[in-house]
Amino acid sequence: AVASAVMWTAVLQLASITGLWRPRVFADCWGGSGSGGASAGLAALAGEDRVAARLSPPALVPRRVYRSNGYLLVTCNGGLNQMRAGICDMVTIARRLNLTLVLPELDKRSFWADPSDFGDIFDVNHFINSLRDELKIVKALPLKLQLKTRRRLYSMPPISWSNDTYYLKRVLPLARKHKVIHFNKTDARLSNNGIPVHLQMLRCRVNFEALRFTPQIEALGRKLISTLQRSGEFVVLHLRYEMDMLSFSGCTHGCSDKETEELTRMRFVFCITTWCYRCAASVGTN
């Protein structure tokens, strides 16, 4: 029995060593024409491993296990930047209320007026898998609920600028009652309404990590940047990067304490100005 155990241990060790050393590495180290010796062979092997790591899909984060209170359907509104900010809010709301989020529907009829779906712009699988530890996201409702919502769907707009209490006291009971609730717009404006820090961090995580463009769009972007770099120095200018884009993002990544304070003050000033302008426009005054 002892001899068998020793033999199998030796076999396993030899198998692991054989798996680490590849034929090309042997050639580079001893039989090839290169002058780098064994260190060159190991460096080549390490380089291949790094390439393989980049090409292989990232490990999935642990799935969060919880009891869902229902499903949240959302129809985004506004331009692409506003819809992106709205999706960050919808993920945060779904996480706070323990709702299962259905893949958001992008606006195709009003300001955006584009036939693209969510999957045409963003990487769907990455969006779902990168947030597994926070909430469950599905591509569509279960068939039984699809049939039910065709007959009757409870639809409502979330009240903008609402805080945590509004969603817990008003929206959560409706979700539990109807099982499926539909937000017909995503203009929630969560960023400056006193939500807990961990939820604000989730909004930023969605914005900067989970909402990744499709590989085709990213490849096109890299091609454009590469072309510009070959032509020498260049400047990228966003012609419509306005105060509201900075304001409604709600994130202060990379800012100092002084810059964060200034940005927060700017947000409140801009929000009040926008609210007054909209009120004046609604009554027909200038």
**What is the pLDDT at residue 184?**
94
H helix intervals, the chain: 2-20, 23-26, 37-55, 80-97, 118-121, 124-130, 143-151, 164-166, 172-178, 197-205, 215-230, 243-249, 257-282
Least confident of 43-57, 63-77, 108-122: 43-57
Of 258 and 240, which is predicted with more confidence?
Answer: 258
**What is the pLDDT at residue 231?**
87
In this prediction the pTM is 0.68
Main-chain phi, psi angles of 155, to 5 degrees: -120, 140
User: Cα separation of 247 and 12, whole Å?
Assistant: 59
Domains of the chain by residue range: 71-216, 243-279
Instruction: Count CB atoms within 10 A of the CB of residue 138.
Output: 12
